[in-house]
Amino acid sequence: MLKVEHIGIAVKNLNQSGALIGRLMGKGAYKTEVVQDEGVSTSFFKVGDTKIELLEATSPDSAIAKFIEKRGEGVHHIAFEVSDIEVEMKRLVGEGFDLIHKTPKKGADNKLICFLHPKSTNGILVELCQEIKEKE
């Protein structure tokens, strides 16, 4: 794993929380994006070499809506950047971790992503992400 790429925070209202985080960090979001497949709207804030990702559910059956219902707003996942997501997924399965999806998916911010099941990671939802490289 290369670094903590971002920390995901589940929020009820992206506009309100975005304004709050903007005040906290002294600068606004550099990107807002809807990921239809995941049922989320996201805003990204840069902090040094890493990012804060705010996530708001776009529908009541989104994973974020269910998370907030159960645990309230707050830290939702930690995302680690990897250079080759498929290799890392294989390595982690070999280490006994459970993947939520067996193949990488397209996530926000031009990334291939995959999640580890929190049951196998001490309750921490872990995301792996790999930058999608432009094909030349």
Q: Which H, E and C letters describe 49-79, residue by residue?
A: CEEEEEEEECCCCCHHHHHHHHHCCEEEEEE
Q: Which is nearer to Zn ion, 81 or 127 (CB)?
A: 127
Told to check if 54 binds Zn ion by CB under 5 A, we report no
Residue range at the interface with Zn ion (CB under 5 A); choices 18-26, 64-72, 116-124, 127-135: 127-135
**Closest distance of CB 136 from Zn ion, Å:** 27
Told to check if 79 binds Zn ion by CB under 5 A, we report yes
Residue range at the interface with Zn ion (CB under 5 A); choices 22-30, 53-61, 88-96, 116-124: 53-61
Q: What is the CA radius of gyration of the chain?
A: 15
Told to check if 8 binds Zn ion by CB under 5 A, we report yes
As a dihedral over the C-alpha atoms of residue 92, residue 89, residue 103, residue 122, rounded to 10 degrees, the angle is 40
